[in-house]
Structure 1
Amino acid sequence: MIIINSFEEYKALEGRMMGVSSWHTIDQEQIDRFALATLDHQWIHTDQERAQKESPFKSTIAHGYLTLSLIPYLWKQIAEVRNVKMEINYGIENFKFEQAVPVNSEVQLQATVKSVKDLRGTVKVVVEAKLLIKDQIKPAYTGDVIFLYHFA
């Protein structure tokens, strides 16, 4: 894990791949709870029997937004940003879902710092987030996550 204490330390990481998180298994229970929380009960996510028969994946798959929602959890395994008064998830840009994530897949986040800017005391960081699927060449997605930090 990388520990970042200041704007200067973050700036020194610009252009670097920071690392990867541990593997996380997306099981059917997590998919079903996400469906309940988001009211998205499309059969390809929640109906295991139908998915096995009718889906090209032959199993249920994780919601794309479920995989995106894992970013904060997985990011905290890669970097710990200290000395902040406030951290804000500011935005996501240029995300492309490249491959479905079948149930019981193991995924991990790979993070690269693209840019670090000081906007009059607010530090804006753009991180390329790539969700890797174990034993797959193509990632589940790639895109930019934008964080704002107010260092103490």
Structure 2
Amino acid sequence: MQVFEGIAEFAEAAGRDLGVTDWVVIDQERINAFADATGDHQWIHVDERAAEAGPFGGTVAHGFLTLSLLPILLHELYEVRGITMAVNYGLGRVRFVSPVPAGSRIRARSVVADVTSLDGAVQGVLATTIELEGAEKPAVVVESIVRYVA
């Protein structure tokens, strides 16, 4: 984990590779819980029997489930200390490149793509690739925007 001691230090991080996380299992239980939380019970996610005959040969995670793990994954990579608040400001480009089959594992690689100094804060853009174990293409690529207030 990389630690930034305050917003001034984070402001100098543009271009820094934050590394890679540990693998996270995306099991059917997590997929079902996400379906319950969001009301998205599409058969490709929750009906294991029907999904076996579907286009992916089994159930797959919701793209938004994979994306929703971004905070957990990024917290494994870095921390900004000495702040009063961190705010998810939004997302730039997001692409769901590959389906994530139930039982598979994902991990994230991230780079601080850009940092902008603001009055009493900094705004960082993180370019993250969520990899799918054993796959040629990633599960998700995303630019996320976070603000850190001193």
TM bracket, shorter-chain basis: over 0.9
Pairing 1:102–2:113 present: no
CA distance in 2, matches of 1:13, 1:119: 15
Determine whether 1:138 maps to 2:137: yes
Aligned to 2:57: 58
Sequence identity (%): 39
> Is 1:31 paired with 2:23?
no
What runs of 5+ residues in structure 1 fail to find an aligned partner?
none
Residues 73-112 of structure 1 aligned to structure 2 (within 5 Å): 73-112=72-111
Task: Give the aligned length.
Answer: 150
Q: CA deviation at 1:5?
A: 1.2
**Cα deviation, residue 135, structure 1:** 1.2
Greater CA drift, 34-43 or 7-16: 7-16
TM-score of the pair, normalised by structure 1:
0.95
Query: Does residue 127 of structure 2 align to residue 128 of structure 1?
Result: yes
Pairing 1:13–2:13 present: yes
C-alpha deviation, 1:7, in angstroms = 2.5
TM-score (norm 2): 0.96
Aligned-pair RMSD on alpha carbons? 0.9
Task: Look up the match of 1:150.
Answer: 149
Describe the superposition over 1:6-47 as per-residue Cα deviations: whole angstroms up to 9, x where unpaired. Answer: 233213321122111110000000000000000000000000
